[in-house]
């Protein structure tokens, strides 16, 4: 089940009122959208956007009783201005970006977003001091099938220098050079085709004394590849100005990011615009929420109001 991150805080800073209209640029599991719709009853609407067609299909099955008040659109939020135009969506009181992934994408999509399995084992992973089940999924990592690039193409056809740059810049991986060289050695023997194989490559590249850190040794590499495949940072940079423009005067913009690169983009954007910043420091989950949903631990919420 997808658990919306910082839901109470999102509602606090977006401050939805009856009959207000909102845009959820990242539908994911629909948790934030449903909470906003409850606050904006009886006539408030949500324009819900997601690049993943499976997310849209899953949501439509769950919101039949709210169909008149939600407008689901399968598209990239980088096209926000055009989406608003095509849907003829009215005055916008608030816009939300939740840049995290849905539980469905991580656990059920079969696209190689995660290295750890919740079900059957395809190999044991003991790199964090406990035995975890390792996934064996295709190295796809696309949100949309319209995206031409996949993680498998990067790993098998990009140069060592290009791969090293992706891991260093988008994953902030200190062993990016060692991992990139190990990828080259492996693909000379056989194509790199699944998540379990990639985790093993990373394990062989990272020095043993660094394999038992706070986060799993594969986390940064998987993050970097996913960001590159979906061009996530450029999409965010393109979408934020469109969101600010779309807001009505007094409308609010809230963004939940999950790593420093995203948060830096949001922070700098807020400072560069005529916006009243509502969060002097990013809002983070409390102990209770992290205990319930461990994936929330790296979330940061920033919010601003259009002057």
Look up residue 120 and give its DSSP letter. S
Q: How far apart (Å, rounded) are the C-alpha atoms in residues 10 and 14?
A: 6
Q: Are residues 169 and 98 in the same domain?
A: no
Q: How far apart (Å, rounded) are the C-alpha atoms in residues 207 and 195?
A: 20
Residue 16 lies in a domain: yes
How many domains, the chain?
2
Q: Are residues 33 and 120 in the same domain?
A: no
Look up residue 112 and give its DSSP letter. S
Q: Are residues 69 and 153 in the same domain?
A: no
Q: What's the pLDDT score for residue 104?
A: 79
Which pair of tokens denotes residue 234? 């450029």
For the question of whether the overall pTM of this predicted structure is more than 0.85, the answer is yes
Considering 230, 262, 287, which residue would you say is the last residue of a domain? 230
Q: Are residues 239 and 181 in the same domain?
A: no
Q: Are residues 52 and 126 in the same domain?
A: no
Q: Are residues 285 and 182 in the same domain?
A: no
Residue 2 lies in a domain: no
Per-block mean pLDDT, blocks of 10 residues, the chain (307 long): 85 98 93 94 95 86 72 96 96 96 84 70 44 73 94 98 98 97 98 96 96 90 97 98 98 97 98 96 95 90 98
Distances in Å between the Cα of 121 and the Cα atoms of 70, 76, 111, 126, 133 are 39, 34, 17, 13, 5
Instruction: Give bridge partners of residue 151 from the DSSP assignment.
Output: none
Which pair of tokens denotes residue 18? 């009856």
Residue 201 lies in a domain: yes
Instruction: Give bridge partners of residue 136 from the DSSP assignment.
Output: none
Q: What's the pLDDT score for residue 256?
A: 98
Residue 178 lies in a domain: yes
Q: How far apart (Å, rounded) are the C-alpha atoms in residues 307 and 305?
A: 6
Q: What's the pLDDT score for residue 68?
A: 80
Which pair of tokens denotes residue 157? 């056809």
Q: What's the pLDDT score for residue 118?
A: 43
Burial class (CB in 10 A: 0-12, 13-18, 19+), 164: buried
Considering 230, 256, 276, which residue would you say is the last residue of a domain? 230
Q: Are residues 214 and 125 in the same domain?
A: yes
Q: Are residues 83 and 169 in the same domain?
A: no
Residue 268 lies in a domain: yes
For residue 52, what is the domain's CATH number?
Answer: 3.40.50.150
Q: Are strands 70-74 and 46-50 parallel, antiparallel or unpaired?
A: parallel
Q: Are residues 34 and 128 in the same domain?
A: no
Residue 195 lies in a domain: yes
Q: What's the pLDDT score for residue 133?
A: 52
Residue 93 lies in a domain: yes
Q: Are residues 279 and 217 in the same domain?
A: no
Provide the residue range defining the domain that includes 94. Answer: 7-104+232-306
Residue 1 lies in a domain: no
Q: What's the pLDDT score for residue 30?
A: 87
């Amino acid at each position: 089940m997808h658990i919306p991150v910082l839901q109470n805080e999102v509602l606090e800073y977006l401050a939805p009122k009856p009959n207000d209209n909102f845009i959820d640029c990242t539908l994911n599991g629909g948790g934030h959208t449903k909470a906003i719709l409850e606050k904006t009853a009886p006539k408030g609407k949500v324009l819900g956007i997601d690049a993943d067609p499976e997310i849209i299909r899953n949501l439509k099955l769950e919101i039949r009783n709210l169909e008149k008040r939600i407008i689901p659109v399968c598209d990239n939020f980088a096209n926000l201005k055009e989406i608003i135009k095509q849907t003829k969506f009215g005055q916008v009181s608030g816009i939300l970006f939740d840049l995290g992934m849905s539980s469905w994408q991580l656990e059920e999509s079969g696209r190689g977003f995660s290295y750890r399995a919740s079900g059957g084992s395809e190999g044991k992973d003991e790199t964090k001091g406990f035995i975890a089940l390792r996934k064996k999924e295709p190295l796809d990592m696309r949100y949309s099938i319209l995206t031409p690039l996949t993680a498998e193409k990067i790993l098998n056809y990009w140069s060592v220098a290009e791969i090293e740059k992706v891991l260093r810049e988008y994953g902030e991986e200190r062993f990016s050079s060692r991992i990139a060289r190990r990828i080259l050695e492996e693909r000379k023997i056989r194509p790199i085709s699944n998540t379990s194989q990639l985790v093993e490559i990373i394990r062989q590249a990272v020095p043993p004394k660094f394999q038992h850190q706070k986060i799993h040794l594969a986390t940064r590499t998987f993050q970097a590849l996913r960001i590159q495949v979906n061009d996530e940072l450029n999409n965010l940079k393109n979408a934020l100005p469109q969101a600010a423009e779309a807001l009505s005067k007094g409308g609010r913009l809230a963004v939940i990011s999950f790593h420093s690169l995203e948060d830096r983009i949001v922070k700098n954007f807020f400072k560069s615009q005529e916006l009243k910043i509502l969060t002097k420091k990013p809002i983070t989950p409390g102990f209770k929420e992290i205990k319930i949903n461990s994936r929330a631990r790296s979330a940061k919420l920033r919010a601003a109001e259009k002057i």
